[in-house]
Structure formats: C-alpha cells, structure tokens
A and B are shown apart, each in its own frame.
Chain A
Amino acid sequence: DTGVSQDPRHKITKRGQNVTFRCDPISEHNRLYWYRQTLGQGPEFLTYFQNEAQLEKSRLLSDRFSAERPKGSFSTLEIQRTEQGDSAMYLCASSGEGQGRTEAFFGQGTRLTVV
C-alpha cells in the first residue's frame, strides 16, 4: 500500500496524559501536513513540513503540541497534558511539489477522545 498511513486509528486517553501519533507519507512526497478536524467542520491546518523543515505552524498549535519529521520521512504529532478540547480527528496528508503534484493525499486519520 503506497498511501498515507496513520497510527493509531483511534486513541482514548485520560485528561492530562500525553499522546503521540505517527504519520507515514507517500514515499516520494516531500511535503507533509497535519490537520485537525472536529465534527461538522473542515480540516483546520495545524502545521506543514517541507522535507524535515517545519515551515509553518498555525496559532491553533499551542505549546502543548509539537510535531517532528526527522530525516524528512515519517512524522509524529505529540500532544502533552491533553485536554477535552483536544478531542478531534487528526489528519495527516502529503503532497509532492510542482505543477500537477501539489494535491494532498490524506490518511484515514487518528481519532482522539480525551475523557
């Protein structure tokens, strides 16, 4: 399977715990995005990598959130001291660069429930 894969698909955690999600992009894609989607809303941009460089972070990404993409391959998104408001679907996407290759391909998402 050469699509974007995310792990885990579902995560239930207690408030205050830390969680980490993983995203494996399509192998030849150099761009990687993290989005958050709450019920009834479109995906909200969180952060974006070009290779291993984190080029942009949304103001939605508080200090409790950190994302990494070591070696420009897979990426992790960590949420520290989770809050109930963090409950959402976290979507990862990847894309190439250049005309004809900039559409984002999405993974199935990680659904986080904070109880």
Chain B
Amino acid sequence: AQSVTQPDIHITVSEGASLELRCNYSYGATPYLFWYVQSPGQGLQLLLKYFSGDTLVQGIKGFEAEFKRSQSSFNLRKPSVHWSDAAEYFCAVGSYSSASKIIFGSGTRLSIRP
C-alpha cells in the first residue's frame, strides 16, 4: 500500500540556519514525489516535484529536495531559513497512472527561532 512517513512532527531552527525535513515513502510503482507548504488557514502550495531525471530538484523559495531510491526518501532542504518559512510542510506521493491518487504524509511543522 502507498504510504508517506514524515518522522518529525515539529522542528525548530534558528533563522539563517540550514534545514532538512525528512520524508520516506512506500510505493509499488515509480513514484512522483512532491513537497507542499501550508501556512495557517491557507491551502497548500507546491514547493517542488520529482518525476524523473536528475534526483536533485530545485523548487521555489530556495528549497531543494533529493530523491534517493535506495532509501525510499525525498528529503527537503534549505541552506538558510528565513522567518517567513515558518509553516507546515507536507511530503506527498503519486504516480503517472491514471488510476492513481496523491497521498500525503502527516506533515512537519517548522518554527523559526529569531
């Protein structure tokens, strides 16, 4: 069965520090992987996506993620966080199949320490 695990419920980092949010997935087919961000009371905004090719993908707002098939991981990174990055981050998995759905992890809440 498809599943996405985000092992960190809440992370606090200092402004200017680097960030890594973990994501592990379980998927029978070749996965499409996504990271979304959600600010309080808002919908979800796509940060980046991986479909194929280069396993290091760049996204908006200075985020990047690396697909590691051997570890079934798709961790999100940012070299230097800004106070405006405080939000909830969701990893998600889908596939090319027309019968697929996109499923989400439970999210990681990011707080920024001034």
In the complex the two chains form, is B99's CB within 8 Å of A55's CB?
Answer: yes
Partner of A45, one of B32, B95, B103, B105: B103
Residue B28 is within 8 A (CB to CB) of chain A in the complex: no
Least CB distance, B6 to chain A, in whole angstroms: 8
Asked, given contacts A103-B34, A103-B46, A106-B43, whether A42 binds B99 with beta carbons under 8 Å apart, the answer is no
* A105–B47 alpha-carbon span in the complex (Å): 11
| Known pairs A43-B44, A43-B90, A108-B42; A98 contacts B96 (CB<8 A) | yes
Query: Is A42 a contact partner of B43 (Cβ separation < 8 A)?
Result: no
Residue A50 is within 8 A (CB to CB) of chain B in the complex = yes
Contact with A along B80-114 (1 / 0, CB 8 A): 00000000001010111011011111110000000
- The A/B interface has a contact count, at CB < 8 Å, of 63
Min CB gap A89→B, angstroms: 9
Contact, CB under 8 Å: A91 / B101? no
**Chain B minimum-CB-distance residue to A111:** B41
* Residue in chain A with minimal CB distance to B105: A42
- CB-CB under 8 A from A103, the residues of chain B are 32, 34, 46, 49
The size bracket of the interface on B is 20 to 34
Closest-by-CB residue of B relative to A91 is B43
Please, which residues of chain A bring their CB within 8 A of the CB of B42?
A: 108
Bound form: Cα–Cα A105–B101 in Å: 13
A41-B46 Cα distance, complex, nearest whole Å: 17
Confirm or deny: B51 has a beta carbon within 8 angstroms of a beta carbon on chain A: yes
**B26: CB under 8 A from chain A?**
no
| Interchain CA distance A50-B101 in the complex, whole Å | 10
Q: Which residue on A lies nearest to B4, using beta carbons?
A: A42
Q: Name the B residues within 8 Å of A95 (CB-CB).
A: 102
With A and B bound together, what is the CA distance between A42 and B34 in angstroms?
13
Question: A56 to B94, alpha carbons, bound, how many Å?
Answer: 14
Say yes or no: B44 contacts A91, CB within 8 Å: yes
Residues in A lying within 8 Å of B, measured CB to CB: 4, 33, 35, 40-45, 48, 50, 55-56, 91, 93, 95, 97-100, 102-109
Q: List 11 A-B contacts (CB under 8 A).
A: A35-B104, A43-B44, A43-B104, A44-B104, A93-B44, A98-B96, A99-B51, A102-B32, A102-B51, A104-B46, A108-B42
